[in-house]
Every structure is written in structure tokens, then in C-alpha cells.
Amino acid sequence: MYETEINKRRTFAIISHPDAGKTTLTEKFLLYGGAINLAGSVKGKATARHAVSDWMEIEKERGISVTSSVLQFEYGGFCINILDTPGHQDFSEDTYRTLMAADSAVMVIDASKGVEAQTRKLFKVCAMRGIPIFTFINKMDRDANDTFELLDDIEKELGVATCPVNWPIGSGKRFKGVYDRNEKAVITFSDTEKGTKEGHTDVLPLEDEGRLREFIGDEACDTLLEEIELIDGASAEFDIDEVRRGKLSPVFFGSALTNFGVEVFLKYFLKMTTTPLARKADIGVIDPVTNDFSAFVFKIQANMNKAHRDRIAFMRICSGKFDAGMEVKHVQGGRVMRLSQPQQMMADSRHVVEEAYAGDIIGVFDPGVFSIGDTICMPDKTFEYEGIPTFAPEHFARVTQMDTMKRKQFVKGINQIAQEGAIQIFQEIGSGMEEIIVGVVGVLQFEVLKYRLENEYNVEIKLENLPYEHIRWIENKDEVDVMKLTGTSDMKRIQDLKGNPLLLFVNSWSVGMVLERNEGLKLTEFGRN
């Protein structure tokens, strides 16, 4: 029985605002797991090593993550799957989809900035799904906001109770370490060598006040004792059930850059987080242990390996055990198939897997048959996992190719990038692929589209920004003739690649006006993959 293997799995996403230190924290986890020997450097000087989890050329040039990476390693008897997500808000849709494949999330917050706009947005997605959230307040080796204010900020902004598992002693140049509330001891800080996991820390029991005062000084010791009394009286009691319901976030303090507090956090996190969770399908809840193999596609990525020009479909295994060579059913495609070249990733390096279990993420070769949200199960079953929402684009542009002789490459490239979910493609109704409109959640996606078409498909394009800001899918499309709708002067009729009719508007008030003018019309802000 594969229950033991499944119960070893821990699958989580790391989320944060840009520059909070998420990629650095991810690398330090890998360092402790022995998956890498030297942490890379994300900020791109030409000579610097790039972060292990940033693999696309544009990411290396700009020092930001624009796609999610999947990283697997072993630590302390656990098999850990980390889903590293883009921090930049223009790539938030990739993060939303990745969160659908995670069982919990680690939220990284910059101690000098507190909760930032992107953190808020991502947290809402976690709250919507009831995902347990663990908070790592980073960069304590720099001057930080008041600790009580930081916790207050999280509670007010995100509407979740907090429970500090450890407590910082000072910050910046005065940072002395953290007090472990569970062990009732102080772990002292030393600025360790940044690229390695070696570093010297002492553990000083709180009851040994003389040694403690000697190390951290009288002022810091007095402040700590006062603060311990305050947090013991004021902070929420630790309740693992509340954590797992996403109502209480355990909070840890440290410095990913200097490695301080990272391993302590990892050990606590692995004790507190769950084994792979059951998933909802149209036939009910699918238990990971008692059901045969099933999975869903949450991400598609083309050209991860320039030498092979391949497409990889990333699948979250939801139940049972996967064996290479087994026959499975692709439910949406209605066909039985073998998943080709199943592999697990370490950013752009990969190895073929013979077996994988519920909780694991595998990448399989996609000949163009998979879409985001597709279900894979055993040939004798037919069910579908809940779809992944498509978020409404907020920016639109008309795409024109510069060289009409490269029409074939252009159509192939733009379709493949759209299937990855980074952009959405629309056409004027009745115009075929002649008139292409691209919709994106963030404007930086336009830059990525242009870059990738040029570098991966050898196609140059011109983008002409359009004034539309609001898009609506027609919910009852079978009952409505889109060409006969009474519209407004700022409305445009378009369709997506599946032929679904949509309406674009410049002004938000036009949406209400069109609904008033067309009795029975139903519009929605979300599509479904």
C-alpha cells in the first residue's frame, strides 16, 4: 500500500510581494535538503549566478520571476514539493493557478514593509480556498517595523489571526536573535556566510538570565521579558485545527539571506502542515490514499528546453500512485493514453520518474492535447476535478505581425503562449485569426509575449494598446444572439479561442447599461479553463 509514501509528501506554494526575499528563502530550503550546494544570486550582474528557480532568459535579465517553478527535495524524512511563484503582480494569474495545486502556502513578508498590495491579492485567493498560511517575516538583519505593528498589520489587512511561534530580539544592527516560545529559549543570531548553511548559533534558555544578559545586553533582555509577557497575554492561542482551516497563521522571524531562522522555520512548518489533501470533483471528494491515480493540469509551459522546443504539462497528482508507462484517461480529450516522458523538475534541470504519488507534481510531454484544468484518471473512471478560474484581463492590445511570410510561426507561437495561460487571445467575431486581440492581467505580460515570440518563434510583432478595460463572458450564450445585442458606443464584440462570445467595454457603467437594454442577458467576470 502506498499510504506511507503519500503521507511523507508536503506540497506548498511560496508567495510574496516582489523583493520580499521569496526566491532566497526557497534556495535556503533546497540548501538544507541537500538539493544544491551553493545558493545563487537573483539580482542580475552579468557574472552573478541566477536563482535556481528562475530559468527563463527574460527572468535572468530582469532579476524577477515571471513563471512558477516546481522544485522537489527530501528533508527530515519528508518529500517536499515547493511551488515557487512569481512575485510581480503582472504575473499573478500564474500564481493563482499554482495555488490550486498547493496544500498550504508560505507567505514571505519584508519586515521593513509589512503587508504590501500583492500580498493582499494573493492572500484573498488563499482565503477563498481555505489554504493554511504560514508567515515568514524576513530581513530581520535590516531595520524592521515594530513587531507588534507587523502582526497587527497582518491581522487587519488580511483578516487572519496570528500566533508568533518565535519572537525577534531587535532588528538591523541590533538584531540579537529570536526567542522560541515553545522551547522557552533564545537562539542567538550571527551573520553567517550567506551562500552556505554553516553558521554558528547558541541556544540560551530563558531561565539562565545571567548568560542571556551577558550575550544580548540588559536593555534587550528587559525589553524581551516585557514583550514575552505581552504576547503570552495578547496573541492568539496556537490551535492546529484553526491553522489548517486557514483561520490562524503561525508567524516566524528570520533572515533568509544570512540563513538565520530558516531551518527552524522548516522544521516547525513540516510538523504543522498537512499530508496531501482530498480534492473536490464532480462525483464528490477524492481521497488521496483510497483512490487510484488521478491528477489535474494546472500549468503548461512551452520551450523550457531550447534544444528540444517542447511543451510540458504540469500535473498535480491528487490520488494514488503514478507508474511510468501506465495507461490513463484524459477526460476532456475522451481518450486513453500513456503519459510521455514523465519527469520531475529542479527549475530547468529534470529527471525522468518511474513513479510518483499523491501530492507530487510531475511534468509530462504535451503534444498539444492538454489544457489548464484538465483531469487525468484511470481508464475505467470518468470524473472531472473542479475547474480553475480564468481571471478577467485588465489590459488589451491589437497584435500585428511584421512579416506576413511568417504567419505559420506567428499563429503557432501565440496559440502556444495562450495555452500556457499567460495571455488570453480573442478575435473579432467573424474575422478568423486575421484580427487578434491579446488580453493580459498585467502590462509586463505584453513585454514577455513580444520577447518570447521573437526569441522562441523568430517572429516580430507590433502591439497597439486598446482602450478597453472591462471584459465579460456571456453566461447564457446558447440563449443569446451576440450580434443582435443592443450595445453601447464603447462596446466591442469578440470571441475566445473556443468560440465563446465576449463583450469588451471601455467604461464600467456600460456593463450595467447593456444588461438593462438586453433583458435576460447574463454576464460574468470569470471564464473557466
Specify if 196 maps to a domain: yes
* pLDDT of amino acid 198: 47
Share of the chain above pLDDT 70, in %: 84
Highest mean pLDDT among 129-133, 360-364, 503-507: 503-507
Question: Which CATH number characterizes residue 307's domain?
Answer: 2.40.30.10
* pLDDT of amino acid 5: 93
**Which carries the bigger pLDDT value, residue 121 or residue 54?**
121
Task: Summarize pLDDT for 440-462 with one digit per residue, the tens.
Answer: 877 877 888 888 888 888 999 99
Specify if 20 maps to a domain: yes
Average pLDDT rounded to a whole number, residues 476-485: 88
Residues 320 and 192 in one domain: no
Specify if 290 maps to a domain: yes
* pLDDT of amino acid 137: 94
Tell me the sheet residues that pair with 482.
none
Domain boundary among 336, 355, 377: 377
Domain residues for the domain of 515 are 389-528
Q: Is the pLDDT of residue 355 over 50?
A: yes
Return the minimum-mean-pLDDT range out of 286-295, 384-393, 518-527.
384-393
Average pLDDT rounded to a whole number, residues 134-141: 93
Specify if 176 maps to a domain: yes
Q: Left, alpha or beta for 200 (phi > 0: left; psi -120 to 50: alpha)?
A: beta
In angstroms and rounded to an integer, the radius of gyration of the C-alpha atoms of the chain is 25
Share of the chain above pLDDT 90, in %: 36
Residues 13 and 114 in one domain: yes
Residues 350 and 474 in one domain: no
Q: Is the pLDDT of residue 357 over 90?
A: yes
Residues 361 and 496 in one domain: no
Contact 100, 421 (CB under 8 A): no
Specify if 382 maps to a domain: no
Contact 262, 134 (CB under 8 A): no
Task: Summarize pLDDT for 390-414 with one digit per residue, the tens.
Answer: 767 888 999 988 888 888 889 888 8
Q: How confident is the model at residue 57 (pLDDT cuts 50, 70, 90)?
A: low
Question: Which CATH number characterizes residue 481's domain?
Answer: 3.30.70.3280
Contact 378, 311 (CB under 8 A): no
Domain boundary among 321, 355, 377: 377
Q: What DSSP string describes 395-457?
A: EEEEEEES-GGGHHHHHHHHHHHHHTTSSEEEEETT-GGGSEEEEESSTHHHHHHHHHHHHHH
Residues 223 and 364 in one domain: no
Contact 338, 268 (CB under 8 A): no
Residues 160 and 205 in one domain: yes
Residues 286 and 218 in one domain: no
Residues 54 and 190 in one domain: yes
Chain-centre distance for alpha carbon 77: 25
Nearest CA-CA partner of 136 in 160, 161, 166, 98:
166
**Number of domains within the chain:** 3
Specify if 447 maps to a domain: yes
Domain boundary among 310, 344, 377: 377
Question: Residue 140 in 3-state DSSP?
Answer: coil
Question: Which CATH number characterizes residue 31's domain?
Answer: 3.40.50.300
Contact 178, 187 (CB under 8 A): yes
Specify if 231 maps to a domain: yes
Residues 217 and 327 in one domain: no
Residues 265 and 300 in one domain: no
* pLDDT of amino acid 68: 43
Residues 220 and 148 in one domain: yes
Residues 239 and 135 in one domain: yes
Specify if 70 maps to a domain: yes
Return the minimum-mean-pLDDT range out of 121-125, 217-221, 479-483.
121-125
Q: Which residue bears the cell 545558493?
A: 39
Average pLDDT rounded to a whole number, residues 261-283: 92
Q: What percentage of the chain's residues is helix, strand, coil (to nearest 5)? A: 30, 30, 40
Q: What is the pTM of this model?
A: 0.78
Return d(Cα 282, Cα 384) in angstroms, integer.
6
